[in-house]
Every structure is written in C-alpha cells, then in structure tokens.
Amino acid sequence: MRKFRTLGRDEGGFTFIELMVGGVIIGILAGVAIPIYLDYGAEAVDATAKVDARNAVTAIEGYFAENLTYPASGVRSDGTITFETADLAPVTMKLTAGNAVGYALADGGDGYLLCAQSTSGGATYEFFSKQGGGVAVSAAADLDACLTQPNP
C-alpha cells in the first residue's frame, strides 16, 4: 500500500487551474482568428468582380482592335455580357456566377466606363478607358450608380 501512495504522488499532471488557463488562452486565440478568417471569404468574392472587370476590359479592347470602334452597348443577361455595335459581330463574355458588369460608351465614342459588382454587393469596381490605369474600387454604392457617374 505504501508503494501505491508513493507512485501516485510522483506522477506529474495538470491541475484544474492549469487546464482552465489553457482553455482561456485557446478561447482568446480563437476569438481573434475566426473573424479574420471569415473576412477572407468576403474578400475573395469581391476579387471575382475585379477579375470580371479586367476580363471585360480585355474583351472590349479586343473588340476595338478588330473593329476600330468601341462597342455601342453592353447588354447584360443571366451570367453574361455582350458587347455589340450594329452591323458588327458581338463579343459575349461569361461572368462569375452572380457578378454583374455594366458598360457605358463615352460621349463621342472615344472611350468607355466599365463597372463591376460582386455577388455579395460589397464592392463595386470601375475602369475609365480615357484615364488608363487599372481597375479601381468605385466610390459608387452599386452598379447603376457607377454607370451614371460622369465619364471623363
């Protein structure tokens, strides 16, 4: 019996307080990490709209290279946008599911405004062909507001 008592006292282990402190630390780390992880999903969805805008710019510039004119309109339908001008072959582009892309020809036909919005509605992106540069986050709240802003 004496050997059994000695054996029990020599074995190391964690006390209840030590286990509770470890649980609190894990809880704090999870509380910090989970919200950051959830934001990555929204950012990824918004990034698809930016990719669609870049692809649409490439399609429009390809249209211009072939026809020496920008498309007169960009017709949106379910999951696609078609850039077209009378008497010329249209160019249709498939969009990421749920994203929307809008197009407006500038006065004089020498440029265009392109806007894209993600499925989450979290971000709207714009591209002004006359200004060059890249696709940027728009100050407009949504796709329609983006397309009605002045086209420099």
Check residue 96 and give its pLDDT. Answer: 85
- Give tens-digit pLDDT for 50-109: 899 899 999 888 888 888 888 888 888 778 888 888 888 888 888 888 888 888 888 888
pTM of the predicted model, to two decimals? 0.70
Q: Taking residues 112-134, what's their average pLDDT?
A: 84
- Give tens-digit pLDDT for 20-49: 999 999 999 999 888 888 878 778 888 888
HEC string of the chain?
CHHHHHHHHHCCCCCHHHHHHHHHHHHHHHHHHHHHHHHHHHHHHHHHHHHHHHHHHHHHHHHHHHHCCCCCEEEEECCEEEEECCCCCCEEEECCCCCEEEEEECCCCCCEEEEEECCCCCCEEEEECCCCCCCEECCCCCHHHHHCCCCC
